[in-house]
Each structure stands twice: as structure tokens, then as C-alpha cells.
Structure 1
């Protein structure tokens, strides 16, 4: 049965902020969430057992244990959750996955921050745009986050999450970050953390390392980025749509 299983009942959270980090264009959310897990030494709090997710075991270089591919980590002191995935989620599984985890978000009264990349228009800048579901739109006004400059669509698993949040009238924020469509983009992840995650979650994150280690991060994520490129339009991303499409 599809469910989210909690491993750390000792961790207590109250109306936490949850940052979604599924692999997508530029791996923006993935890089940001991996950085949060490492920087705050976040605990493996829960695992996602949702229909359609591949039954694979993830191992690390620092131990003999294994983990499920899609996990939720927690930081009790910062009242923070992150959704971390080491695999791309197939579009065929996106609807069931989104339904599975959205119900859990509501159960724990989390405010999800959904993340998607959009192709960068100007190589010199990284803009961050905001969308919202439920009654969360006022938070974007308070942050001064830009509205999207044109009509568009969020596709892939992140799009399914935003759709499910909207259909269930769940408060959530979505951040569309300009990023490279070809390579992992640590600079875009830095912009996301500084302009969106920090003020919403009321936390401070050392993001300098993302730029200092940009080459190392890009090389580490290269294989995953290549798999996402091969997925083409199936990956999570935000794209403009014509008026009559």
C-alpha cells in the first residue's frame, strides 16, 4: 500500500516548511536539498513507499547500509523538512506519487515549497518567480518574489505535486528558477535558497560553498543530469505556453 513511513518518532515538528528536491531542469531543487541535508546534518525522518517508484536500494561511500531512493529528512531545531530523491521519477508514476505524498504533507501540516527550473533567458542573471496554491499567495507578496512574466506550465513530477496541492486546496508555494537546461546549476540552487527558502523557513544557509564547489557539484551530478536530459520533456520544468495552446 502506498504510504510514507516515519522512522523517527522522537522528532517533533510543528507546521514545518518542506522543501521539495526532485530532479528536474538544472537539478535546482536536487542540489539545494542535498546542500541542506549536508549543511544541517538532517536526520533521515521518513521514507516514501509510493506506487510507481522503482524498488532500488541506495548505498553511500561512508557506510554499509542502504536507503530507499526517495526520502524525507528533518531538522527539528529549524522545523524543516526536505524531500530528497536520488532518482528521476517517471512521468507514468508522477500522478500516483504526487497523490501519495500530498496526503502526508496535509497530515503533518507542512507548507511545501515546490521547485522547478525554467530555461535561463539571460546568462548574467538568475530570476526566481513564484506561484502558489490555497491561501499561500500572500506569502509571495511579502517576499517580493516576482510573478511569472508569461503564461506557462509546470510539467513532470513537480507539476503533478503542484496540481495535487491545488486540487486539495493545500497551501503551497512554487518557485520557478531560471537555470541551465543542459547542466547541473549550483548558482540557480544558491538563488533559490537565498531568495525563497531562507526567508520562508526563517533560516540561514551558508550558500558560498555552492559556488566554491560548483565544478565538483556539477561533476557529481553529471550522470543524473544526463539521464534527465535524455528524458526530454518528461522531466520537471516550467515552460511558457502560447495563448492558444
Structure 2
């Protein structure tokens, strides 16, 4: 049965902002989420368990412990939550995963920020488009994002999360950022952190290292990016749809 298991009842949050970091096109959300967790030294707050998620254990350098592949980290001082995943989520699991996570976010009184990459149309641009979900448009006031220039669709597990938020009446924001379709894109993640996360969550995020260490970050994420390309329809991404499609 799908559920979110909270491990840290001692962490108190008050209407937090939640950053979604599922792997998708350009690994934009993944890179942004990992950067926040590492920069702030965020505590592992909860684990997500639902049908279809890979039953694997994640281990890391510098310690003997293991952790589940999909987790939520918390920073009480900044009233911040980050949904972090080290594995792609398959289409078969997306619906149940999104329903479970949406119910939990609603119970926390959190404002979720959903992040999806879209194939950039020109050079190295990192335009960010903002989407209002369930009437949350006022939250975009003063934020450096564009309105969509064409009709489009957000697919994959991030698209499922946006769909369930709209259906449940959960105020949320979606962000579509131009990114590389083939490689991990730290520059696109930096754009999201600078233009979206900082003003909406009212935090300061050091992001210059994402540019300085772009090659290192890309190499570290390359294996996951290759898995995402092989998975194809497992990847969250935004793309235009024709009028008659």
C-alpha cells in the first residue's frame, strides 16, 4: 500500500515549500534537488513507498548506511522540503505515486514546485515557463518566468503530479525549463534555483558551483541520464502539442 513514512517527528515545519526533484529531461529537477540537499545539509525527513517503485537500496560514499531510492528531505530553519529520487519512476507507477504524494503534500499544507525540462529551441537558452495549478497564480507575481508561448503537455511522473494537484485542488506551481535533451544540464538547474526557488521559498542558494563544476556534475549524473534516455517514456518532460494532435 502506498504511503509516506515520516522518520523525524522532531522537525517542525509551517506551510513549507516543497521542491520536486524527480529525474527527467536534462535531469534539471534532480540536479536542483541534490544541490539543495547538499548545500543546506538537509535532514532525511521521510521515505516514499508505493507499488511500482524499484525496491532497491541506495548507499553513498563516506558512510555505511543505506536509504530508500525516493526520499523527502527537510530544513526546518528555511521551511523547505525536497523530494529527491535516485531512480526513474515508471509509467505504471506514476498514477499511484502521484496520488500518494499529492495527498501527503496536501496534509502538510505545503506549496509544491514541480519541475520539468523541455528541449531547448535555440543555442544555450534557459528560458523558464511558469504554470499555475489550482489557482496558485498569485505566487508567480514578481518571479522571473515566462508564460507559455505554445500549447504543450507535461508527461511522466511530474505530469502525473501536476494532474493530481489540479484534480485535488492543491495549489501548486509548475516550471518548464529549457534544457539539453541528451545530457545532464546544471545551467538549467541553476536557472530554476535562481529564478524560482530563491524568490518563492525566500531563501538564498549558492549556485555558482553548478556552473564551475558543470563538467563534474554532468559526468556524475551521466549514467542516470543514459538510463533515462533508454527508458524513454519513463522520463518527465514537457513538449509542445499540435492543435490537432
**Could you state the TM-score of these two structures normalised by the residue count of structure 2?**
0.98
1:201 maps to what in 2? Answer: 201
Q: Quick one: distance in 2 between partners of 1:146 and 1:172?
A: 17
1:144, distance to aligned residue in structure 2 (A)? 4.3
Secondary structure, counterpart of 1:146 in structure 2: coil
Runs of 4+ in 1 over 2 A off after TM superposition: none
Question: Are 1:226 and 2:222 counterparts?
Answer: no
2:71 maps to what in 1? Answer: 71
1:140 maps to what in 2? Answer: 140
Q: Please list, as runs of the form range in 1=range in 2, the aligned pairs for 1:44-83 lying within 5 A after superposition.
A: 44-83=44-83
1:51, distance to aligned residue in structure 2 (A)? 1.6
Q: Quick one: distance in 2 between partners of 1:104 and 1:200?
A: 21
2:94 maps to what in 1? Answer: 94
Q: Quick one: distance in 2 between partners of 1:212 and 1:145?
A: 24
1:141, distance to aligned residue in structure 2 (A)? 3.3
Deviations 1:43-78 (A, max 9, x none): 000000112111111011111110000000000000
1:124 maps to what in 2? Answer: 124
Question: Are 1:240 and 2:240 counterparts?
Answer: yes
Q: Quick one: distance in 2 between partners of 1:233 and 1:90?
A: 8
2:37 maps to what in 1? Answer: 37
1:233, distance to aligned residue in structure 2 (A)? 3.5
1:173 maps to what in 2? Answer: 173
Q: Quick one: distance in 1 between partners of 2:144 and 2:198?
A: 13
Secondary structure, counterpart of 1:182 in structure 2: coil
Q: Quick one: distance in 1 between partners of 2:82 and 2:234?
A: 23
Deviations 1:77-119 (A, max 9, x none): 0000000000000011000100011000000001000000000
Q: Quick one: distance in 2 between partners of 1:124 and 1:47?
A: 36
1:135, distance to aligned residue in structure 2 (A)? 2.0
1:234, distance to aligned residue in structure 2 (A)? 3.3
Unaligned runs of 5+ in 1: none
2:160 maps to what in 1? Answer: 160
Q: For this pair of structures, how many residues does the alignment match?
A: 245
Deviations 1:177-233 (A, max 9, x none): 000000000000000000001100000000000011101100000000000111224
Q: Quick one: distance in 2 between partners of 1:5 and 1:207?
A: 31
